Amino acid sequence: MRLTLALASLLRHRARTTLAVLGVAVSAALLLDMVMLATGMRESFRELLLTSGFQLRVTPKGTLPFDTEATIDHAGDVLAALRADARIDRVSAIAGGQLHVLATPQRHAANEGAPLTTTFALGVDPAVQGDYELQRGADITAPDRLVASETFLRVANVRVGDTLDVAASFDPQLRTYGGRRRLVVSGVARFLFAPAADPVVAVPLAELQAMRGDEGRDRVSAFMARVRDDAAVEPVRRDIERTIPRVTAVSTTTALVQVERRLSYFRQLAFILGAVSLAIGFLLVATLVTVSVNERVGEIAVLRAVGVSRRHVVEQIVAEGLALSVTGAALGLALGVVTARYLNTILSDFPGLPAAFAFFVFRAGAAWRALGLLVLAGVVAGVYPAWRAASLPISTTLREEAVG
């Protein structure tokens, strides 16, 4: 009954109520987006790290994976030590470098002075790798095969099945290329940790090492390790650093802390804008309900005079604030999801971010808590005008209304 009366009161001024609801919807959308931004980056990065199940990254001492050009020499010894630990289920060795594409089927004559394309290359063991997901074609099951990103295919103007003339190094004095091979594009992959706009390829680890001339050094950029029991990740990490002093072991938890430090600006911005949107929603509802009560002072005094209780008046006016905030929050939920997707497409071009990383991630629990907070703000916004209306002196108010 009270909610019906509240809705009837709001519908007396449809244009004003509609504008207020739209204002609350925009406020709710902004609040939801900021909650998605504040919680989404951490969850997105965590899911990215755990996509292939590897909880540990083993890198050269004092570095993050591919943060520098440092490498781990005599990687076979490190690999054997990691595999000897019964707590570790799987180890993947990774090497990084550049490959210069000198010729393609569309251009057979190589120009020694200018490669057609220079791309980042990963050397991996396809049986245990966790750096890419094969989308179509075949994996790198032979030494003369490579898989490439869609961006590489577009930039190099090649297709699956084409044979490429590639090189791993360039001598600027002699203007010659070293480590040349003919590799066949066997498949297309989505590289999880590489920016979507960057051309990337993957080749067998041993082949990339041979092209770079790593004989005797056996260099890799990092290892990824999967621990059988999640509870043993930290003990394994500490043991790796103790037994192999020339490496740093980074767990998923440690990586999250380091990434949060780098992205703390976005979290602070999300907190500030979220608080502002909540305040705007509160003020919108409070303003509209207060104006509505001021216009109905005489009506409320008459209701009180004929025996309507103060509680009834308070509940009806608070219900008006509740109706405004609930309707606005419902519209804001849809608007927030749409704008978050649009903003994700813009921010995904941020330099150096992995293609699988998302700034805005919808989490039902966080979204409902944020919108619930806005609805609560709407209810609180109706408390003051409701208390004021219920406290009006009946006889004085009726006399002033009659004289007016």
Cβ–Cβ under 8 Å, residues 164 and 185: yes
Cβ–Cβ under 8 Å, residues 331 and 32: no
| For residue 230, pLDDT beyond 90 | no
CA gyration radius, the chain: 32
| Kind of pairing between the strands at 163-167 and 181-191 | antiparallel
Q: What value does the mean pLDDT take over residues 107-117?
A: 62
User: What's the burial of 249, exposed, middle or buried (CB within 10 Å: 0-12/13-18/19+)?
Assistant: buried
d(CA 273, CA 112): 54
In tens, the pLDDT along 9-66 reads 665 667 777 887 888 888 888 888 888 877 777 777 777 767 777 888 898 887 776 6
| For residue 171, pLDDT beyond 70 | yes
Cβ–Cβ under 8 Å, residues 189 and 133: yes
Per-residue pLDDT band for 392 (boundaries 50, 70, 90) equals low
Per-residue pLDDT band for 72 (boundaries 50, 70, 90) equals confident
pTM greater than the 0.95 cutoff: no
**Which residues lie closer than 8 Å to 315 by C-beta, 6 or more apart?**
2, 386
- For 194, the token pair is 């590489």
User: Cα 216 vs. chain centroid, distance in angstroms?
Assistant: 41
End-to-end Cα spacing for the chain: 31
Who has greater pLDDT, 148 or 55? 148
CA distance readout (Å), 35 to 178, 266, 275, 333, 381: 51, 11, 10, 12, 22
Per-residue pLDDT band for 403 (boundaries 50, 70, 90) equals low
Per-residue pLDDT band for 372 (boundaries 50, 70, 90) equals confident
Q: What value does the mean pLDDT take over residues 75-102?
A: 90
Task: Give me the percent of the chain exceeding a pLDDT of 90.
Answer: 16
| For residue 342, pLDDT beyond 80 | yes
Mean pLDDT, the chain, as a whole number? Answer: 80
